Structure 1
Amino acid sequence: MKLKILLTTFAFSGFLFAQDSINVIEEKIEEPKQGPKFKTSLGEIKLNLDESGDKNIKFGLSSQIWLRSIDNNPGTLVNGIPQTSTYDASLRRMRISISAQLSNYYSIVMQLGINNQSFISGGGAGTGANGQGKKPQIFFMDAYNELAIIPRKDEIKKKENKHHLYIGAGLHGWAGVSRMTNASTTKLLTADLPVFNFPNIEVSDQFSRQFGVFVHGEYDKFNYRIAVNKPFATNRNPEVGQIVDNNQSGKLSYAAYGMYQFFDKENTATSFFAGTYLGSKKVFNIGAGFYSNNDATLSQPTEGVFKSHNEFIFGADAFLDMPIGRKAREMSISLYSVFYRYNFGPNYLRTTGLLNPGTADPNFTGTKALEGFGNARFLLGTGNIWYSQAGFVLPKFSDRVKLQPFFAYALKDLEALNEIGNYFDIGANLFILAQNAKVAYQYSSRPLYTQDTKEVFTIRGEHLITLQIAF
């Protein structure tokens, strides 16, 4: 019954969203007769600072609203009341991006906003007028300067260079490990990312960003990025037999990712890779990368004995996105597969629950999940994860709308657990104006482990509808 209600809401929301979004995008901004010229498109809002447009300021806005039905883990309280299931609405992401191209060689990039605000989380502490979910603080996700050593465009010939090279510094997301570690959150194939693609998310990074120096560029069909960063400080102390994040020695981190582009080249002016192009490109890339940080975790094998451990993450992936069939039918496929090898030290394990509404019920006497309460799951740990996703754009049935069913699977073989975990996602994207306006539905399953045997004893699920506008 819940699924039927959600699907009905999904379809109705898509219709309303389509009507509103089409009206907004079709409005044109008139150019003033004097002064800077404004341009608008589905991809950006651009303020030109010279006649050529080479000097400019670009603005972007994005909003992702979540509606969910969560099957809670056993023994969950929500707002102090035992609940086996919970409905909620939230702001998953709300962003403002600004980039200033001051010359062909120098630019500034900023992105700010909020993430993960719900009725009970993401805001100020306390109760009453300033409740737990209210008034979250805006913060910077990106804030860096960039210098072109070899720019993409030859300033004299006004043509694209075959090779380019950039160097930058600041709070940035030019990360290593995999394509998905550098994923665009507004061009996803699935309704949301699996999150383990960010190995240090909100631990030693700030929403997958760290402070540091980076280099990125392209040589023919080989694209690459390299970074040397100062991770955010962690100083947890482990109990006996436990391993936790503790980088008090202050070692630098090193990251890199490179990919070979067999067909069309992708636009890498920003650090973010698309999860799907809806067949607008013919792309086949293979890549590999790593992340390394010495003395990143700390364990206490025996009472009073502490030992530091190095973090090393390796990833290898492949991405295919291309049109198929007759051109008039506008069909396409998107395929992505990645293998991660994580090493944080012996038996390291990390849990997460996106916008988790739950807390532990101290009076619960049934079988408790090792993961915890709410929608918590084992995110990652020392061991291996294989993740794959696939999407198919159905044959054209409208001049405005595209429908793309998708499926994703993650296999987690983690050292601290005694059974492999299988995680599934299935859903569909309803694109109203490509990635700029879409509605997505996704059902996700998560296995839960017992506290004693560390084996799977049950499965819980979560229904998600996301409404996105981004440009």
Structure 2
Amino acid sequence: MRKQTLILLGLSFLSYQFMIAQGSPDYTGGLTYKFNEDGSKYLRFISWAQVQANYNTDETVDSNGNENSKLNFNLRRARVLMYAQINKNFLILTHFGLNNVTSSTLSPTGKGDGSQLFFHDVWAQYSLGTDHTVGGGLHYFNGISRLNNQSTLNMMTLDNHRQSWATIGLSDQFARHLGVFAKGKFGKLQYRVAINDAAVSSLDSRVAAAGGDAVYNGRASLGSKDAGKTYSGYFDYHFFDSESNVLPYKVGTYLGGKKIFNVGAGFFLHPKGSVINTGSLTTPELQGEDVSIFAIDAFYDTPLSDDGSALTAYAVFQSNNYGKNYLFSAYGTGSMFYGHVGYVFKGDKASTRYQPYVSYGSHSYDAVTDNRSTLGLGVNAYMSGHNSKLTLEYKTENFGAIEDNIISLQAMIYL
């Protein structure tokens, strides 16, 4: 019995978050290769795939003016994550994969941009005693809010709230920055802070117009000396059960596996990250503007009884300042409120469990008078916790004259 306990402790220390988070009655921690007898030195592999069928109820056209099919298929995510610990004082993690493979991103020989694997995370971390860690690399220890640190393995809604990944593609690579981080806890208070390099390239490739609004490509325009670094942090207090913070990925729903109530606050700062042109068309004069994003949020997840029923709820308020009247895609200077709630029906945990949910977001922008609103209605069918689940969701988004209505069915398998 003592030997079995040692093995279990060794294997579960870093995989604890994943084992509990999935809510699976027959999940034992994935594929782990042990380097020693008690399992304290190991290499662990995780793999998952999310495949979607999306039906757009409205007529849409592509960039060439051709009508699109209302029904489309999407390989939303295909990922492999590996991490290893051969000493209790350090860990290395590697995470690679691809996203959003559709008919428009497929290439004849699999060599197109949309078909390519790339590294999402590669970092090393070192323990400073029992409760504190430092590390560096391409990492996901983000600031702002819980959703900006969301795991894609165990989301309650079909996908993460898009605007909560508040810097994705603007100053980072797919929500990951290259830099150094520190994380840990003081009792019930957990923290993560980071100093990173801002990416030179950006999805926002616009040129700042004379006398116009801000453009968020400051590092490319002003150079690394003035706009090279970003600073972020997130702090949350755990009133009931404490969540694991060994890895950065925040759990979306525990399906009643833990009793959680956390209140958090976070930030993201990019000095002179955006630019405005105070000159003329022929003689531009670029002036940097600070990017600052702040949020407060709360997460609640609890079993309601011994019969398997459970409740998950989340809410966040976020203040976004990307510069003067900034507006690009879904991002803009202004404010955002978002929340969701889901309920797991009672039932045998070894059988399929159902979780209907609703989500709502409201976004205001300084640049326009119209607000963006999103509403999602969905249901999860957990056949083996998050390790095998189906999600059906109807989502409507309204912004000015634009209205999108999409029905999605997603199948996910995670091993």
Residues of 1 paired with 2:177 and 2:112: CA distance? Answer: 26
How far apart are 1:80 and its partner, in Å?
5.2
Equivalent of 1:441 in 380, 389, 392: 392
- Whole-Å Cα distance in 2 between the matches of residues 78 and 252 of structure 1? 35
Q: How does 1:210-225 map to 2 (within 5 A)?
A: 210-225=177-192
> What is the CA-CA distance between 1:131 and the residue it aligns to?
8.2
Q: What residue identity is the alignment partner of 1:284?
A: F
- Tell me the SS of whatever aligns to 2:148: helix
CA 1:80–1:42: 2 relative to 1, 3 Å: farther
Correspondence 1:93 to 2:77: yes
Q: How far 1:132 moved relative to its partner?
A: 9.5
Matched residue SS, 1:150: coil
Question: For 2:128, which of 149, 155, 172 is the aligned residue?
Answer: 149
Contact kept? 2:53, 2:409, Cα under 8 Å: yes
Corresponding residue number in structure 1 for 2:382: 431
Q: Distance in 1 between matches of 2:409 and 2:365?
A: 30
1:171 deviates by 0.3
Question: Does 2:382 correspond to 1:395?
Answer: no
- Give the corresponding residue for 1:369: none
**2:363 partner letter:** K
Q: 1:49 aligns with which of 2, 15, 35?
A: 35
Q: Is the 8 A contact 2:139 2:176 kept in 1?
A: yes
Matches within 5 A, 1:255-334: 255-301=232-278, 303=280, 304-324=284-304, 326-327=305-306, 329-334=307-312
Aligned with residue 350 of structure 1, among 321, 325, 328? 328
Of 291, 311, 314 in structure 2, the residue corresponding to residue 336 of structure 1 is: 314
Q: Which whole-Å CA distance do the structure 1 matches of 2:113 and 2:28 have between them?
A: 32
Alpha carbons of structure 1 residues 42 and 117: separation in structure 2 relative to 1, 3 Å: farther
- How far apart, in 2, do the equivalents of 1:403 and 1:133 lie? 39
**Cα pair 2:137 2:179 within 8 Å, conserved:** yes
Take 1:339 and 1:346, find their aligned partners in 2: how far apart are those partners?
A: 20
1:400 Cα offset (Å): 1.4
* CA deviation string 1:239-291 (max 9, x = no partner): 33242222233221111101000000111211001110000100000000101
Instruction: Return the offset for 1:72.
Output: 4.9
The 1-side partners of 2:273 and 2:285 are apart by 17
Stretches of structure 2 lacking an aligned partner (at least 5 in a row): 1-10, 16-25
- Structure 1 match to 2:20: none
- Aligned counterparts of 1:220 and 1:398: Cα–Cα separation in 2: 32
Q: What's the CA shift for 1:459?
A: 2.4
How do residues 139-288 of structure 1 correspond to structure 2 at under 5 angstroms?
Answer: 139-151=118-130, 164-234=131-201, 236=205, 237-240=207-210, 241-246=212-217, 247-248=219-220, 249-250=223-224, 251-288=228-265
Which amino acid counterpart does residue 145 of structure 1 have in structure 2? A
- Check the 8 A contact 1:120/1:131 in 2, yes or no: no
- Determine the structure 1 residue equivalent to 2:89: 105
Distance change (3 Å), C-alpha of 1:429 and 1:344: same
Determine the C-alpha separation between the residues in 2 that align with 1:274 and 1:280.
11
Q: How many angstroms does 1:86 deviate by?
A: 2.2
Pairwise CA distance, 1:470: 1.1
In 2, the alpha carbon distance for the partners of 1:398 and 1:253 equals 44
Residue 392 of structure 1 deviates from its aligned partner by: 0.3
SS of the residue aligned with 2:182? strand
Is contact 1:42–1:436 with CA below 8 Å preserved after alignment? no
* Distance across 1 between alignment mates of 2:115 and 2:349: 40
* Residue number in structure 2 paired with 1:457: 401
Aligned amino acid, residue 178 of structure 1? S
1:66–1:90 contact (8 Å) kept in structure 2: yes
In 1: Cα distance, 2:342 partner to 2:270 partner: 35
Which of 327, 336, 361 is the aligned partner of 1:385?
Answer: 336
| Contact 1:120–1:133 (8 Å) recurs in 2 | no
2:159 is matched by which residue type in structure 1?
D
User: What are the Cα deviations for residues 302-337 of structure 1, in whole angstroms up to 9, with x where unaligned?
Assistant: 52343221110101000000011x31x210000000
1:469 aligns with 2:380: no
Specify the code of the residue in structure 2 equivalent to 1:244: V
| Matched length | 379
Retained in 1: the 8 A contact 2:80–2:96?
A: yes
Q: Secondary structure at the match of 2:401?
A: strand
Instruction: Provide TM-score, normalisation by structure 1.
Output: 0.77
Identity of aligned residues (%): 28
Instruction: Name the aligned partner's letter for residue 90 of structure 1.
Output: N
The answer to whether 1:63 aligns with 2:49 is yes
Scaled by the length of structure 2, what TM-score is found? 0.87
In structure 1, the partner of 2:5 is none
SS class of match (2:383) = strand
Rounded Cα–Cα distance in structure 1 between residues aligned with 2:112 and 2:173 = 20
Q: Is the 8 A contact 1:73 1:460 kept in 2?
A: no
- CA RMSD in angstroms comes to 2.2
User: In structure 2, what is the Cα distance between the partners aligned to 1:80 and 1:380?
Assistant: 26
Q: Which has the larger radius of gyration?
A: 1
